[in-house]
Amino acid sequence: MNYWLMKSEPDESSIDDLKRKKSEPWSGVRNYQARNYIREMRAGDAVFFYHSSCDEPGVIGIAEVAAAAYPDPTQFDPRSDYFDAGSKREEPRWSLIDVKFKRRLKRVIALTELKGHKELKDLALVRPGNRLSVLPVTKAQWDYILDLE
């Protein structure tokens, strides 16, 4: 099993939205490195759900990869905000995964708190300039963050 952190703006897709839907496609990723991470994900992988661009950015819940990467259909839809005219059906440029809700954390573990732990200094999320929506997390980092709960 692998461990990941996925960011979402709660106004677009929150942990409560995922809880209500139970499972949903994680579409619209348009960064090549984040796309490559998505293509590494496998069903059963664990995911920290992170709220970004809000009053208190932080880890708010846990999800699971429900289905491994497959072509993101929004890249082919001219009406979609995520349309990519350069992507071809026979060679899709963008992928998505299905994510399912596991649970909310007992509390939000804020970014400011995460940055304050030397044990998490190598966590991609706390490194300056890292704005990817999908990030790898080591097992040790995963366990440490869960212990903060």
The alpha carbon of residue 143 and the mean position of all alpha carbons in its chain are separated, in whole angstroms, by 17
> Can you list the domains of the chain with their CATH numbers?
3-148 (3.10.590.10)
User: Per-residue pLDDT tens for 77-120?
Assistant: 999 999 999 999 999 999 999 999 999 999 999 999 999 999 99
Residue 48 has a pLDDT of 98
Question: What is the tens place of the pLDDT at every residue in 133-145?
Answer: 999 999 999 999 9
Q: Do the beta carbons of residue 19 and residue 104 sit within 8 Å?
A: yes
Residue 129, pLDDT > 90, answer: no
